[in-house]
Amino acid sequence: MKLSPLQIERYKYQPKLPAMLRNGINEISVKEGKETTSVADQEKIKALFPNTYGKKEIVFEKGVNTSVNKKQIVGVILSGGQAPGGHNVICGLYDALKATNKENELYGFKGGPSGLIEDDYVVFDDEFINAYRNTGGFDIIGSGRTKLESEEQFAVVAEVCKKHGITAVVIIGGDDSNTNAAVLAEYFASHNTGVQVIGCPKTIDGDLKNEDIECSFGFDTATKTYAELIGNIERDANSAKKYWHFIKVMGRSASHVALECALKTQPNICLVSEEVKERKMSLSQIANYIADSVEYRANHGMNFGVAIIPEGVVEFVPEFSTLIHEINELLAGSKADAFNALPSWADKYAFIEKGLTSESMSVFALLPQGIQQQLFLERDPHGNVQVSLIESEKLFSALVKDVLVERKKNGTYKGKFSALHHFFGYEGRCAFPSNFDADYCYSLGYNAFMLIQYGYNGYLSKISNLSKPAEEWVAGGMPITKMMNIERRHGEDKPVIRKALVELDGKPFKYFEAHREEWSKETCYLYPGAIQYYGPREVCDITTITLLLEQE
């Protein structure tokens, strides 16, 4: 297989570890902290996790390794969507495992959690692992979105582990995957299987974080990749001077990606879903907010601009959420068949007018026909609207255009408005990891094995002090149950890891808020350029602006 020059060089990169993990396996000791409680619903979470709840936080430090020296056979899976650096978690896990005992083995289960259930695996060796060091993607073993949540599944996984003599399972995933890890750990403990479960925090969306998890891996690389593209578009917009670019970025539940990209590139507009919800902004208010920037810039000779839109923003607009709910009710059960049988869009539109409340119909009427049809014609197997498929970047540019038409009639707007649309998602999920993510992920994997070696179960691999150089990072672990609360999911109360949304009183948003009016009127674009792997540490190893602001 022919390799690119960059790929060859990245294979040679030796990720940096926290100082205490570089002491050598025999010189890593553990320091236990205080017992933990869940972030909310303590009694309910404790009742659901009697064997793994309330465990102590731990930190690794230099000292004598007091763990029991035994052969370890570890299984690992990649779960959920891809995130840059996943390969390095596995590489770090493998290296620590082999450094402890050459007889230790690492099984990679293919295709995510389903690989554990179907006993589909590969046993890693040096040659296999070396081909994936510091590379992007999850192609080393693939990933999947099967959930491990039923007693039947747990029993099958336990049998697979018993068959291979597996002593621990490492689950690399986001909030749902690590929730599943906690439940599996509890099952293993309650059934005395002797199998440990360790989680690693992954998601480019950045919503798996809290006082212990400073950031999830992949967020750094993904936002740098998107910011490079946004910066390129800003340069093009400032060169052509005739287009407004509406750019949708990933982040259905939280706007961390959009906010970080805005901090990196200083666009004219960036919507933050959490603010939209907090202020109860309507579609019309959002459209007018964007149109204000378009009008000001046009009236000052700048018929161009850039707007960043989080993919899930429409779900945070109260009136739009109500509309979605009414549509789902309108098409429930056999009513969907009656709707689908109508011969034309005009007939369907009449059906819709009769079925929606006047308030929701007024919102629906605002929408471009293409978006209207998406809401009704593209539904999931349960008949519900697939909100993630809504082209919100096109929705808002169309609404802005309508506002500007009216303003032109009134004589306040004298410019030209031409919109172009982009969606950046898959472009960032499998990029070559930045030095930060390469180092962070390798440390997470290496650290995960230390948690296994010391016998911990139901813990998340934790690397903190991330705004400092890697040598100053702190390695340790925390019980996954500490991050959990009870939420209503599909009509049932479920223990889940609480998602971290953008905090409107947090330093990253406050910095953005203080500068966005200037950015909306002037051309203040920043051009981050491509991810740098070689050169000064201040250029190559720096992490996200979000993390730097939060930790300052």
Give start-end residues of each CATH 3.40.50.460 domain in the chain.
221-318+368-428+506-551
**Per-residue DSSP letter, 472:** G
User: Which structure tokens are listed for 371?
Assistant: 């978006």
User: What's the one-letter identity of residue 6?
Assistant: L
**CA–CA distance, 130 with 91 (Å, rounded to integer):** 8
3-state SS of the chain: helix, strand, coil percent to 5? 45, 15, 35
Mean pLDDT confidence for 206-234: 96
Provide the pLDDT for residue 388. 72
Nearest to 365 by CA among 410, 319, 404: 319
Average pLDDT over residues 439-448: 98
E strand or H helix that includes residue 365: helix 358-366
Work out the average pLDDT over 299-310: 97
Q: What is the pLDDT of residue 490?
A: 66
pLDDT band at 386 (very low <50, low <70, confident <90, very high): confident
The amino acid at residue 242 is: K
CA–CA distance, 552 with 550 (Å, rounded to integer): 6
pLDDT score recorded for residue 476: 97
Looking at residue 382, its pLDDT comes to: 60
Instruction: Enumerate the β-bridge partners of residue 244.
Output: 305, 419
CA-nearest of 368, 516, 535, 515 to 435 is 535
- The residue ranges of DSSP E strands in 147-267, in sequence order, are 168-173, 196-201, 244-249
Whose CA is closest to 527, among 204, 366, 306? 306
Question: pLDDT value at position 383?
Answer: 64
DSSP H stretches of helix in 411-536: 426-429, 435-453, 507-521
Boundaries of CATH 3.40.50.450 in the chain?
A: 29-218+433-488
DSSP labels, 280-325: T--HHHHHHHHHHHHHHHHHTT---EEEEEETTGGGGSHHHHHHHH
What pLDDT shows up at residue 336? Answer: 82
Instruction: Fold for 221-318+368-428+506-551, please state it.
Output: Rossmann fold (3.40.50)
pLDDT in tens, 262-290: 999 999 999 999 999 999 999 999 999 99
Task: Tell me 141's DSSP state.
Answer: T
Tokens of 501: 């949304």
Confidence of residue 492 (pLDDT cuts 50, 70, 90): confident
Q: How far apart are CA 197 and CA 189, in angstroms?
A: 10
DSSP 503: P
The DSSP annotation for 30-87 comes to EEEEEE---SS-HHHHHHH-TTTTTPEEEEEEES---S-----EEEEEEESS--TTHH
pLDDT in tens, 334-362: 788 888 899 999 999 999 999 999 999 99
Q: Token digits for 285?
A: 């208010």
pLDDT grade, residue 516 (50/70/90)?
very high
At 545 the pLDDT is 96
Average pLDDT, the chain: 94
Mean pLDDT computed over 483-510: 91
pLDDT at 130: 96
Q: Choose among 381, 401, 379: nearest CA to 389.
A: 379
What pLDDT does residue 368 have? 87
382: which 2 tokens? 């349960």
pLDDT (average), residues 231-257: 96
Instruction: Report pLDDT digits (tens) over 72-107.
Output: 999 999 999 999 999 999 999 999 999 999 999 999
Give residue 347's pLDDT.
92
pLDDT confidence band for 389 (50 / 70 / 90): confident
User: What local confidence, expressed as pLDDT, does residue 378 receive?
Assistant: 66
**219 with 206: CB under 8 angstroms?**
yes
Mean pLDDT, to the nearest integer, of 237-257? Answer: 96
**Residue 381 — pLDDT band, cuts 50, 70, 90?**
low
* 3-class secondary-structure state, position 399: helix
CATH number of 29-218+433-488: 3.40.50.450
Strand 196-201 with 168-173, pairing: parallel
Note the pLDDT tens digit of each residue in 452-478. 999 999 999 999 999 999 999 999 999
Structure tokens that stand for 355 in this block? 């079925």
The answer to whether residue 380 scores a pLDDT higher than 70 is no
SS3 459: strand
Say which of 95, 205, 220, 437 is annotated catalytic: 205
In the chain, the percentage of residues whose pLDDT exceeds 70 is 98
Judge whether 91 and 440 are in contact, CB under 8 Å: no
Is residue 63's pLDDT more than 70?
yes
Residue 3: CB atoms within 10 A of its CB come to 11
Active site residue 205: yes
